[in-house]
Amino acid sequence: MSDQPNPSGRAALPEVLPIFPLTGVLLLPRGRLPLNIFEPRYLAMIRDALGGERLIGMIQPSEPQRDNLGQGALNPPLYPIGCAGRITQFAETDDNRFLITLTGISRFRIVEELPLLSGYRRVIPDWQPFAHDLAAAGDADLDRARLIRGLKGYFAQRRLSADWKAIDKAPSEYLVTSIAMACPFAPSEKQALLEAADLGERARLLTTLVEMAAIEPSSGEDNGGVGGTRH
């Protein structure tokens, strides 16, 4: 069976994808996600990925309370949609951890989960519904002024600083992707951002989320943001 075609002309997307379930962590196409890997099964996954396509699927457990403890903690049920990233930076530490950066390539829908390999999970992905992820989004129907107003309120409430001149100049996709990945939204909100049909829909949802968060106190669901300090 051959790999599924990739209309962008890049290397074909694989028919079997290792996955990294992690609550509250969002990877989007062309976004960059740093991860600190130290759990044995995920060390094995990274080694195997480095010997192949260097692709890993980031996906959230659909029952976050089972992500870290309790029965079923090792293999909690998953949301049906995740995003694959390619390992674009890699370093090994003296204490046998891997520091990697994933660059988002394409979303996928789980068709079937396969038996564990060296303790980590693998799926058969369906890439076709997200073929457009392989090309840069370009300009979107984005109300930048409203989004930036919302961000200023959000940052002010959390006493965070930002380079607003750089934000004003950032391309639309980069701005939306970076903010969506970095802000500590609830897992269900992260998943909604991931599943948005296109950049315009994601931008509108992101604007609503930052506006709501700027009004209401933090719910305590903050997982520390994107940065992968686990596993």
Does 32 lie in the same domain as 124? yes
Does 175 lie in the same domain as 123? no
The pLDDT, as a whole number, for residue 196 is: 97
CATH code, domain carrying 107? 2.30.130.40
Which DSSP string do the residues of 158-174 spell out, in sequence order?
A: TT----HHHHHHS-HHH
Q: What is the mean pLDDT of the chain?
A: 86
Domain for residue 225, yes or no?
no
Domain for residue 183, yes or no?
yes
pTM of the predicted model over 0.75: yes
Q: Torsion angle, CA of 91/93/96/98, rounded to 10 degrees?
A: -30
- Cite the beta strand spans of 118-201 per DSSP E: 120-126
Does 210 lie in the same domain as 164? yes
Which pLDDT tens digit goes with each residue over 98-117?
A: 999 999 999 999 999 999 99
Pairwise CA distance, residues 189 & 21, whole Å: 16
For the record, the structure tokens of 198 come out as 């296109």
Where a domain ends, among 83, 105, 134?
134
Q: How confident is the model at residue 53 (pLDDT cuts 50, 70, 90)?
A: very high
* Structural domain for 203, as ranges: 144-215
Domain for residue 228, yes or no?
no
Q: HSE on the CB side for 95, CA within 13 Å? A: 4
Burial (CB count within 10 angstroms: exposed 0-12, middle 13-18, buried 19+), residue 36: middle
Domain for residue 63, yes or no?
yes
Q: How many domains does the chain have?
A: 2
